[in-house]
């Protein structure tokens, strides 16, 4: 039976590898964004343009939801947290890369450059519980799929 720390560790390993998640607020549907990470900190950053709804909605700290699905569809998560603008120049310098640069013609000095900070709180994380054994058991009518799946989902703290 996996523990909460295993779920949290798998989430962090996965999102750091895949880097794509959807982020939204109560007033704004989630949008796909590329996650950026500052070392091992458990904070997720997103570069965006200052004239987007997401940036204006995060001018002051606001409740937000991050929705994540790994590329292999073996891990899914819904993460509640706080989203806010964090235009710390030293942080922008550390996170800056050629992929971000492609979106901002003025580089790090582009007047529309905006860095968003997502501080995660509670998350519900699901692991894909499908396997050949699980499929065979379901096909043969053996076992209880709800019982078999119970160790594949957890609500954990990510902060």
Judged against a pLDDT cut of 60, whether residue 150 lies above it is answered with: no
Greater model confidence, 154 or 44: 44
Question: How confident is the model at residue 2, as a pLDDT?
Answer: 59
Q: What is the pTM of this model?
A: 0.85
Question: How confident is the model at residue 152, as a pLDDT?
Answer: 83
Tokens of 91: 């942080």
The contacts of residue 67 (CB under 8 Å, 6+ apart) are 21, 22, 23, 24, 30, 77, 78, 79
Mean pLDDT value of segment 56-69: 97
**Structure confidence at residue 11 as a pLDDT band (50, 70, 90):** very high
CA distances from 114 to 41, 45, 150, 157, 158 (A): 20, 10, 41, 27, 24
Mean pLDDT value of segment 16-40: 96
Q: Give the per-residue SS3 of 37-79.
A: CCCCCCCEEEEEECCCHHHHHCCCCEEEEEEEECCCCCEEEEE
Greater model confidence, 49 or 132: 49
Question: How confident is the model at residue 151, as a pLDDT?
Answer: 65
CA distances from 30 to 4, 15, 33, 71, 78 (A): 26, 16, 9, 18, 11
């Amino acid at each position: 039976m996996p523990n909460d720390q295993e779920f949290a560790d798998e989430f962090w390993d996965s999102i750091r590898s895949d880097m794509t998640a959807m982020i939204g607020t109560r007033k704004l549907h989630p949008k796909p964004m590329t996650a950026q990470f500052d070392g091992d900190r458990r904070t997720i950053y997103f570069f965006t343009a200052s004239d987007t709804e997401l940036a204006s909605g995060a001018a002051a700290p606001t409740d937000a939801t991050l929705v994540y699905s790994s590329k292999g569809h073996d891990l899914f998560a819904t993460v509640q947290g706080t989203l806010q603008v964090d235009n710390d120049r030293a942080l922008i310098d550390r996170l800056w890369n050629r992929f971000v640069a492609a979106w901002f013609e003025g580089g790090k000095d582009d007047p529309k450059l905006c860095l968003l900070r997502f501080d995660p709180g509670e998350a519900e994380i699901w692991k894909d519980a499908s396997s050949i054994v699980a499929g065979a058991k379901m096909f043969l009518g053996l076992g209880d799929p709800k019982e078999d799946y119970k160790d594949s989902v957890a609500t954990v703290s990510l902060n």
